[in-house]
Every structure is written in structure tokens, then in C-alpha cells.
Amino acid sequence: MLPSEPAVPVGDPQEGVNVVIQSEIGRTPAPASADGATPNSTGRLLRTTNLRVQLAEGLRERLRNGEWAEGSQLPTEAALTAEYGVSRSTVRAALQQLEAQGLTITRHGTGTFVSPYGHAITAGLQELQSMSDTIRSHGMEPTMRYHAVRFRGADAAEAAALGIPEGTRVLATERTVIADDIIVAYSYEVIPGALLPTDLTTDAVPDSLFGLLEQAGAIPHTAVTELHAACGPEIGWGERDPEMVYVYLHQIHHDSSARPIMLSRTYFHEGRFQFSILRVR
């Protein structure tokens, strides 16, 4: 079950704590009764919701807790079947979901192993940094693969967010965010065309949109950010799990004069990006 409101508040920095968001988004709380949708006291899964989803979440939690080291082998399908009391096909489907998220690697005839990228990339929400820089800071190679780049008129929601008239010419991009050959996010951006060089063509748009803005003299200074949990087949493109849960960041970027310069809507794969907030008093 997905929460109907943002998973955590971004503002109100009153407590001196570090809040980890990623591990809480999209998780169904353990119910008090035996009719719930989580493992019971024996470790077996209860059958009121999708068993594959439950099992995959349980295994992700164990991975996050470091039960299996990077490169180590997970229990066999037969062992997991016995431990959780589910069918072998359910175990196989859950393991396939972990592999699709880049958390594990399956070697046919050998078994399933913890991926060297099995731990989430950590990003502090208090710091405005490009996705490429965040990925690079973790020793990984970032790639921004454009799915679509075009100039068009801003729709009503985009115009309101950017403080421009509806129909104003904007640069609209759709990008796949990749860390060391593993997809970690899908991102949609909108930039007012008036901020960009008049001779800019779609095939000349660079990988770094922050860099493009900086070259145009519109330097990102702050971003108003909302966090939500999101799920749905309309998110992203290409082959992907239609039941994937995403950490959704809706951001309006401003320059030092508080002028809106970019709207970004980014869907991070749950389990691959971990967001934290340092709160002080």
C-alpha cells in the first residue's frame, strides 16, 4: 500500500537527527493481528497481499541491514522456499525483482549474489547537487541517457511552477539516470526557453542541465522540494517492473534572485537511492 501523502516532512528543522527516507517509502506497516500482510513469528509470509512483493521487501530489508555482504551468495531458492513457506515460483519472482533493481546478480547454475551496487546511493536533501555529482561522489560513473528532448509550449502546471504564461516556449527533457550501467531514476525537466541560447538545438543539449543553465548565466541556487511515494506504469519507459515503487522528487529550482529556472520531476528507484536530512536546532 502506498502512502497518500509525502513520506516525511521536508521542513521544520527542529531536531538534531538524521532521517533516512528511502527505507520507509512504500512499506506496509506490520499489523497487530494475524491477518496482516507481513511475515508472522515463524518467518512465513501471510497471504492477504502479493507474496512476491512481501518477499522482495523482506529480502531488501535484510540486504539493507548487511546480513549478506557484497559479493556473497544468498540462500538457495529451496532454502528461501522453506524459510518463508511460499512456492518456488514466488521466490524466483522476488529474486528477479531484486535483480531488476540492481541489488543482486543471478548467475545461472550457480545462484544469486549481492551486487557490488547493493547499497543505495545516499544523497542529502539539504544540499543542492546534480545527480551526476552525487553518483560520482560514490565512486560510480554517471550516465544521462536522453529519452526525449524537445521545445514546446508549457502546460498550465508547468507555467504555474515556473511563473511564466501558459504556452511559453520551454525546453522539455526526459532522461534515464544511470550509475555504472544500472538505471537508478527517470527524470523529467522543463526549462524556460528565454533562459537558453537562442541558437540552441535539441541535439546540442548537454548531459548536465545544471551545466547548461550555468553557461547561460542562470545558476541553480536553491530548490523547493516535495517528496512522495509513487507507483504506476506511466512512470519511465522501456522494460521495467510495473509494480516498482519510486521515491518521487518534485523540485522547482531557483537562481540567487529567487527566479524559477527549472522544474524537475524525478522518480528514483526504491532501494537504489537513499535520501537523508540533517536536522539541527
Q: Is residue 270 part of a domain?
A: yes
Same domain (yes/no): 68, 139: no
The pLDDT of residue 173: 97
User: Are 241 and 262 members of one domain?
Assistant: yes
**Which residue is it, cell 551526476?**
132
156 and 56 inside one domain: no
**CATH classification of the domain holding 136:** 3.40.1410.10
186 with 241, same domain: the answer is yes
Question: What pLDDT does 44 receive?
Answer: 59
CATH of the domain at 105: 1.10.10.10
Q: What is the pLDDT of residue 212?
A: 94
Please tell me whether residues 170 and 58 are part of one structural domain. Answer: no
Q: Which of 114, 134, 169 is the last residue of a domain?
A: 114
Query: Could you tell me the mean pLDDT of each successive run of 10 residues in the chain, 281 residues long?
Result: 32 31 29 38 54 86 84 92 93 85 79 70 62 76 93 97 97 94 92 96 93 93 89 90 87 92 92 64 50
Let me know whether 218 and 106 are in one domain. Answer: no
Q: Where in the sequence is the domain holding 136, given as residue range(s)?
A: 125-278
